[in-house]
Structure 1
Amino acid sequence: MRAVQIVALIAVVAGVLSGCSRGDKTPQLMNIRSDGPDEFAILPNKPIELPQDLAALPAPTPGGANRVDPTPQADLVAALGGNPARLAETGVPRSDSALVSQAARFGTAAGIRQTLAAEDLEFRRDNRGRVLERLLNVSVYYRAYSEQSLDQRAELERWRRLGVRNVGAPPEAQ
C-alpha cells in the first residue's frame, strides 16, 4: 500500500513538473506569440446605408467586398487628403508607360507566363539524369541551371578590372 502511494506521488510530481517545462527556452517576456485572436485587427463595420433605389444595388459577387466592410487603408488615404480610388488601380502608372512601351516595342505574346513555365518544366525534366532523382521526384532546379548561374564575385572583379565604379560588396564568408 505504501509503495502505491509513493508511485502515485511521484507520478503527480512528474506531471506537475512536466507542465512547468517549456519546449523552447525563450523567456516568457520575449515569447509574445499567441494562437488567439488579434484584438488589434478587429475593426468595427461602417454604418449600414440604405440606397434610395433598391434596384440600383449591385449583384453580390462571391469573394467580393461588402459595402460596410472596414477599409482602414482607404480611410487613411482619404483622411490625409488623397484619393482612395487610386489604391485599387491595377493599370500601368503614367510614370512607367515609357518603360512598358519600350519593352513591348516588338509585340507581346499572350500567355507568356504559362509558356515559360511549361518550357522551364521541360528543361528541368531533360536535365535530371540520375535514376534516383527521377524515381524520388527530387527538385534539381539549381543543378539544372548551374551552367547559366552568374558567379557574383568573378563578375564584380571583372567590372573592377575594367575600371567601372561599383558599390562595395560584403566580404566573403570565412
Structure 2
Amino acid sequence: MTAARLVLAIAGASLLVLAGCGGWRDKPPHLMNLRSSTNGPDEFSIVPPKPLEMPEDLAALPEPTPGGENLTDPRPKDDAVLALGGTPRTASESVPAADGALLSHAARNGIAADIRPTLAAEDVDHRRKNNGRLLERLFGTNVYFRAYRKQALDQQLELERWRAAGAGTPSAPPRQLGER
C-alpha cells in the first residue's frame, strides 16, 4: 500500500513539474500590473481640474471654441516641464529657444525613433535570462525586483554621497539628531 502511495506521489509531482514547464518560454515575463483589470474607474487617469481664477482683463481671454482647450484643463505634461524648469510649448510651435540647449544635450548621442519597442524587447530578454526559480515560474510570481537587483540604487547611500560632496538635498528628509 505504501509503495502505491509513493508511486502516486511521484507521478503527481512529475505532472505538476511538467505542467509548470509547458509554454512558459512562449509568453513574455510579466511586469507588475499597473493597469486596472476591472470595469471600474482607473484612479491613475483621474486628474482634477485647476481652480477657477478671475483674469485681470476679461478682454484678454481667448475666443471660446467648441472642443477646444479651457484654461482650467489639466495639462500634466506642461506642469512637469514647468516643474523641471522648462517652457511648455503649444501644439503649433516647435521647441522654445530657451530649451534648445537642453534638447541638443539630450540628443547628443542620437535619437532613436523606436526606443520604446527596443527597450521593451531588451527588458523581456533580460527578464527571460533572469526568469526566477522553478516554483516561481510554476506559480507565476513576480521576479521583477530580483531580475533588476544588480541595477538597483541604494537611496540612502546615494543621499549620503551627495551630502558628503556638498550638494543640496532639499527634497530629502533632514538628518536626524546625532547623525553626521
Higher relative contact order (CA 8 A, sep 6+): 2
TM-score by length of 2: 0.43
TM-score by length of 1: 0.44
